[in-house]
Amino acid sequence: MTINLSIKKLKKSFYRKEVVVVARELLGKVLVKSNGKENLAGKIVEVEAYHGDIDEAAHSYGGITERNEIMFEAGGYLYVYFTYGAHHCCNVVTGKKGQGTAVLIRAVEPVFGLERMIKNRFGRKLKNEKEIFNLTSGPGKVCQAFKLDRSHSGTDLTGDKIFILDGVKIKSKDIGISKRIGITRSVDLPWRFFIKDNPYLSRK
C-alpha cells in the first residue's frame, strides 16, 4: 500500500499555535516516516502537552540545555529524547521561538507499513490477534515501531523524511481529557488528550 507524500502535509503555521491547541488538533492527524521506498504511518490517537513556562514536568522548565534546545525553536520540529535508560519518546515542537513547548505523541493507530512496524517492535510475527493493540500503544512503543531515536531529533516536520499529514477532524465529543501519565510534577494539569475508545490508547 502506498501513500501520497505530496498532499495535505501540515504547514509550519499549524505548529506555531498554543501547545494545548496543537495537542488537541493533532488527534486524527497521520504521522509518517519515509525513506523514499518504504512508508510507515499511524493516526495519532493520544498526546500530552508540555509548557516550560508553567509546567515543571516539561523538559524545557528551567531553560535551555543541550538536551532540550530543539524545544525552543519555533514550532514544526521533532524532539526525540531517551528516557529511563530504555525508551525513546517523540514530541512535536510547538509555539513561537524561545517558548519551550511541545506535544508528546503517546499512541498511534497503524495505517501503513504494519509488517515493518511489527518487525521493528517484536522481531517476530504476532502471537495472536490481540497483540496488534500493543504495537503502538505508548510513546516508547511508537518510537520503536517507527524506529525513531535521538538521531531524528531536530527533523523539520515539513520535510520529506518525517512529517504529519492532515486527517479527519475529531469532534469535541469524541476527545477525552485527563491528567498526564507517568509524571511526578505538575500532575494536576489536564493536558492529556485522546480519541475516546480507541483500542491503541496507552491507558484505557
- Residue 168: pLDDT above 90? no
Closest CA to 108 of 82, 77, 80, 134: 134
CB count in 10 Å sphere of residue 129: 7
| 146 against 130, higher pLDDT | 146
pLDDT of residue 85: 73
48-55 average pLDDT score: 94
Q: What is the pLDDT of residues 57-70, one digit of tens each?
A: 999 998 999 889 99
CATH of domain 12-195: 3.10.300.10
Task: Identify the burial level of 180 via C-beta atoms within 10 angstroms of its C-beta, where 0-12 means exposed, 13-18 middle and 19 or more buried.
Answer: buried
- Residue 97: pLDDT above 80? yes
| This prediction's pTM | 0.94
Q: Domain-by-domain residue ranges, the chain?
A: 12-195
pLDDT of residue 112: 95
pLDDT of residue 4: 52
